[in-house]
Amino acid sequence: MKPLLTDYDERELADLPVICDQPPYRVRQLHKWLISGADFDEMTDLPKQLRARLEETYSATGARIIKVARSSDGTEKYLYSLNDGSLVEGVLMTYKYGRTLCVSTQVGCRMGCAFCASGRDGLFRNLSCGEMLGELTAANARAGDKRVGNVVLMGSGEPLDNYENVTKFIRRLSESGIVGQRSVSLSTCGLTDKVRALADDGFSVTLCLSLHSPFDDRRVKIMPTARRYKVADIMDAARYYFNASGRRVIVEYAMMRGFNTRDEDARELRRLTADFPCHINLIPLNDTDSGLKGVTTKEAHAFLDRLTALGASATIRRSLGEDIEGACGQLKRRYTENSLTEDKTDHND
């Protein structure tokens, strides 16, 4: 497989043998094309000879959309094919303030969370910076003028398990003027050393903690990482990140019937989030055939009322894409299991 040019920033491109003899403006032109998602034949202001040399050695794009599912609420779910044939998913959500793309950071995942479809087969490999950028540029190519303004690293994979590539991607977004760090959210199941590294490395993304239970003995039943990463240590790392970045931390909490919506859960969740700015994002659980049951709308609002009565900042997250199986891993699994033979394009256009 050819190296991917979008894995290189502008400074790194200038050092590549195939282009280092070119004037600096050629490097700027190439970089501009790459971050727009263009392939070599679209780079019309570059000499044909240079384009041919580049194409002989490199790939220009890291991800292409091969299937689209559209929701009645306007949400679009994408199945991407990477250059080695691996499949990942992304979700484009439309809000009043603009468009948000949910980006995958790994092919599969090794965290093993019981409620997540994307990790059922374990981790295959990490995505590179250029492949993640390819997810975004492919979505922008479909969007036209209505480009993505916010990125959430909440697709398949644990972003902090792919720390080097994910942080390079975040920097590339901001340095290239695509999406600023304050418009990027990163969801983690609580790899505390990497949360602290984010703080030490000066990042200002929104940190989202995938908590789902305030008690270690219950959390470990649905999240194997809880054996290593304890709730108290995760919250200490989150506090450390807030003190370094000044950014409010989001606690993600998927409500599961009979498991984590008791009065004692509300009280402990409030205690954990009381001493620094946290917002609790209550999530209606998506059905992923995991055996875990979500709560009714009435039960969800009852739990929300308990939290707010205790003084917590909390809301119920708006569910988008439910009719297209919005949870990560579901479209990929259905596509693979059905062994679709139709042409790999957007069949819904």
Work out the average pLDDT over 43-72: 96
Backbone angles phi, psi at 261, to 5 degrees: -125, 30
In this predicted structure, the answer to whether residue 132 has a pLDDT above a threshold of 90 is: yes
Q: Of 15, 34, 17, 29, whose CA–CA distance to 129 is shortest?
A: 34
Name the more confident of 19 and 144.
19
pLDDT of the residue at 341: 40
Task: Indicate the helix (H) or strand (E) that contains 57.
Answer: helix 48-57
From the candidates 76, 89, 158, 325, give the one annotated as an active-site residue.
89
Decide: 316 and 273 in contact? Cβ < 8 Å: no
Based on the residue annotation, tell me whether 89 is a catalytic residue of this protein.
Answer: yes
CA pair distance 270, 174, nearest whole angstrom:
34
CA pair distance 251, 273, nearest whole angstrom:
8
Backbone angles phi, psi at 339, to 5 degrees: 50, 55
pLDDT of the residue at 285: 84
The fold adopted by the segment(s) 5-57 is: DNA polymerase; domain 1 (1.10.150)
Confidence class for position 328, pLDDT limits 50, 70, 90: low
Confidence class for position 325, pLDDT limits 50, 70, 90: low
Residues 6+ away with beta carbon under 8 Å from 17? none
pLDDT of the residue at 191: 98
In the DSSP assignment, the letter for residue 286 is P
Q: Domain map of the chain by residue range?
A: 5-57, 63-338
What token pair was written down for 73?
A: 């609420």
In the DSSP assignment, the letter for residue 59 is B
Q: In what order do the strands lie in the sheet with 184-188?
A: 63-70, 76-82, 87-95, 98-102, 148-153, 184-188, 206-210, 249-255, 278-284, 314-316
pLDDT of the residue at 288: 56
From the candidates 102, 129, 208, 328, give the one annotated as an active-site residue.
328
Q: What is the number of helices (H) and of strands (E) in the chain?
A: 11, 12
pLDDT in tens, 190-248: 999 999 999 999 999 999 999 999 999 999 999 999 999 999 999 999 999 999 999 99
In this predicted structure, the answer to whether residue 146 has a pLDDT above a threshold of 90 is: no
pLDDT of the residue at 72: 87
Domain with residues 63-338, CATH architecture = Alpha-Beta Barrel (3.20)
In this predicted structure, the answer to whether residue 113 has a pLDDT above a threshold of 60 is: yes
